[in-house]
Amino acid sequence: MKSLGYEVSLWESELEPLPEELLDSEVVVCNGLFLYNDISKFSKLKLVQLTSAGLDRVPINEIRNREIKLLNARDVYSIPMSEWVILKILEIYKNTRFFERAQSRCEWVKNRELLELNGKTVGIIGTGSVGIEVAKRVKAFGCKVLGLNTSGSNNKYFDDCMSVNNITRFLGQIDIVVLTLPLTDKTLNMINQETLNSMKDDSVLINVSRGGIVSENDLLRCLNNGKIRGAALDVFDEEPLSKNSVLWKHPRVVVTPHNSFVSDNVSGRMFKLIYGNLERFINKRPLKHI
């Protein structure tokens, strides 16, 4: 960054107030900085490069009103997240917990109730970068892939796409529902008792987007009454997930601590994105992922 002509300041924790001299920054690279620091104090701010794909942790309206350029980290995490989705679908379909328990007891016991992914219909709600990478991979398993997005616009990796206005009809066709959409006012609690009831019996829910998209209480009711075979959740309404949450030990739930984005290649992609955008910005060239 310095080699590009920037004066660079590092600040370790976004949770702490920035010192006065850093409020003059013209460019900020961050994740949740503006949850803890008032963006209005950054009087010279011209560019915000997020290290996240989601935009739910930044004050969008003020950024738009001040014409600050906002860039996200689209594509950086999509591959590991899509691999996590495949892993969790197979864990539920092949009931790996059953065999882990049997192994811990040194028991040679078969399970005759495993499912096959081939021929199933996977519904991906959110057809952006993560959704596309999921679609590519489930296609390789012989699945039909349907997408749900705002307009119903199609994508070559999906067999068909529908508008979010048709979510009930969409869910009624799906064996495996994968959530890869952003959290907004319109998507908050999108997966609730009504939409869960419209899902096929014995279906599976996978969430790698944001916890607020799913009503956890409504999901638990459907898990407890057997409506849904299982859920794999990497994100939650409150994080860290409380130790008292029943989700931790629920037999139909797989929990991971917002970790699906992690891989050995993420930091390389992140550096390439950030460095490339800072180079474009200082040279007044078009930016990536505005």
Active-site residue flag, 101 = no
Active-site residue flag, 113 = no
Please write down the HEC assignment for all residues of the chain. CHHHCCCCCCCCCCCCCCCHHHHHCCEEEECCHHHHCCHHHCCCCCEEEECCCCCCCCCHHHHHHCCCEEECCCCCCHHHHHHHHHHHHHHHHCCHHHHHHHHHCCCCCCCCCCCCCCCCEEEEECCCHHHHHHHHHHHHCCCEEEEEECCCCCCCCCCEEEEHHHHHHHHCCCCEEEECCCCCCCCCCCECHHHHHCCCCCEEEEECCCHHHECHHHHHHHHHCCCEEEEEECCCCCCCCCCCCHHHHCCCEEECCCCCCCCCCHHHHHHHHHHHHHHHHHCCCCCCCC
Which of 137, 210, 229, 252 is labelled catalytic?
Answer: 210
Active-site residue flag, 258 = yes
Which of 26, 116, 238, 239 is labelled catalytic?
Answer: 239
Which of 258, 269, 280, 289 is labelled catalytic?
Answer: 258
Tell me which residues are annotated as active site. 210, 239, 258
